Amino acid sequence: MAREQRIWRIRLVFQIVSLILVNSMIFGVISFGESPLVRDIYLPNATTKFFNNAPTHSIVYKIQDTLASEFDTFYSDLVIPLFIFLVLVVLLGRVWCAWLCPLGLPQDLLSLLRKKLGIPAYHLPRAAGQALHATKYLALFIIIFYTLSLGIPGSGLFEFRTGLAIPYEQLDPNRALYVYPQIALGLLPPSTIVPWLSILTTIFFLAMCFKIRRFWCYICPAGALQGLFHRQALFQLKKDSSKCTSCGVCTRVCPMGIQEVYSERKKDKVTHRNCTHCYKCVECCPEDDCLYVTFLGRRFLSSKSMEHFDIEET
């Protein structure tokens, strides 16, 4: 297998399997989706519940839902889901993003299509990338602030509770992206309504992610929420600076525009809060064991020089 594809291909398999098993439960586990046991599984990534009977949903949904409606119970409903969220993020970090997210897969497929068509990617200028990365935290803040206000009587926003209680769901590109295929497959009734805003964001999503790698992940609030904790996760991206030639390959191939992996010259931990754990940098770094990934401190994936691989023929 070509050096520059050795991780990517395995990741694609993971993404597809997780779409089917974790997010959609398409294959016959329908009743599982109704079980109270899984009622509180709120995944850290931008999981969709628009799959018929899908057992899981995004924590971002749960947060909005609870904050908007449960002032009286002091949001106690959030305790368990948030605890599960923390455990899941500490367990896998943002592996949830690059390997298991139903909204990551279409972005990667769009990039693949673009590559196949020979259309160059647009690389966001550093400042623009940084600004977008900041946007996702702003989005997260607004979502929390807004829904919190909704839940507090006297905030004057009470009437929105019926109209726009879960604002992000109106925008979520997941919705149009997955509802229409399911209607086509007969998994959802044709009468299912997709908010027009979501249709618009989906079109925006498709257009942007085609030209800019993982564009949505720059602004995704679920990614922002994970980013707050994932530097403490069991999965860590690490670097042996003594082996680094400063070639800059890791920065160029990083879909999230992260420069810190390249510029770090002292510490070995280079997991950045914006890093989605896609390991593109590990795959492409041309120096043996310079970048590597650890789980519980144990190295299980390392960068390899071209010495160890067949070089792809044209």
Partner 1 sequence: MKLIGKSKKGSDPAKSIESTSAQRARIETLVAGRGDEIIQRTKEKISAELAKLALLKNRAKAMDYFDEMAQIDGPRAKEIEEFKAKGGKVIGTFCHFVPLEIIDASGCLPLRLGCGHHATVGVGESYLGDPNLCPLAKSMAGCAIVDDFPLYSQCDYIIAPSPCDAKLKLGEALKEIGPLLTMNVPRVKEGESIRKQWIEEIKNVRDALEKITGKKIDKKSLKRSIIKYQKAHKAWRTLLSQKRKANVIWGRDFLLVGWVSFIDDIERWTREVTKLTKELKSMASAGKLVADKSTPRVMLAGSPVVWPNWKLPNLLEESGAIIVSDELCSGTRTFYDPVVTDEWTERAMIVAIAERYLYPCTCPCFSPNVEREDNFIREIEGSRAEGVVFHVLQGCHLHTLDASRLSRPLKNKGIPVLTIRSEYQDGDIGQIKVRVEAFLEMIEAGEDSLFEDV
Residues making contact with ligand SF4 (CB under 6 A): 45-46, 97, 101, 103-104, 216-217, 220, 222-223, 237, 239, 244-250, 254, 256, 258, 261-262, 275-281, 285, 287, 290-291
284 binds partner 1 (CB under 8 A): yes
State how far the Cα of 269 lies from the Cα of 9, in Å rounded to an integer: 25
Residues 6+ away with beta carbon under 8 Å from 310 = 2
Residue whose token pair is 């299980």: 300
φ, ψ at 70 (rounded to 5°)? -120, 45
| 5 versus 73: smaller Cβ distance to partner 1 | 5
CB 259 within 8 A of CB 126: yes
126 binds partner 1 (CB under 8 A): yes
Secondary structure class of 43 (helix, strand, coil): strand
246 binds partner 1 (CB under 8 A): yes
State how far the Cα of 61 lies from the Cα of 208, in Å rounded to an integer: 24
| 31 versus 246: smaller Cβ distance to ligand SF4 | 246
Nearest residue to 27 (alpha-carbon basis) of 37, 35, 17: 17
- Which amino acid is present at 203? I
| 125 versus 181: smaller Cβ distance to partner 1 | 125
Nearest residue to 165 (alpha-carbon basis) of 141, 196, 143: 143
275 binds partner 1 (CB under 8 A): no
Which tokens in the block code for residue 49? 């519940």
Q: How far is the CB of 4 from ligand SF4 (least distance, A)?
A: 12
Sole window of 18-26, 114-122, 135-143, 145-153 interacting with partner 1 (rule: CB under 8 A): 114-122
CB 255 within 8 A of CB 245: no
Q: How far is the CB of 82 from ligand SF4 (least distance, A)?
A: 17
307 binds partner 1 (CB under 8 A): yes
φ, ψ at 221 (rounded to 5°)? -65, -30
| 96 versus 146: smaller Cβ distance to ligand SF4 | 96
269 binds partner 1 (CB under 8 A): no
Q: How far is the CB of 306 from ligand SF4 (least distance, A)?
A: 12
268 binds partner 1 (CB under 8 A): no
265 binds partner 1 (CB under 8 A): yes
State how far the Cα of 181 lies from the Cα of 179, in Å rounded to an integer: 6
Q: Which residues bind partner 1 (CB under 8 A)?
A: 4, 115, 118-121, 125-126, 241-249, 252-253, 265, 280, 283-284, 286, 305-307, 311-314
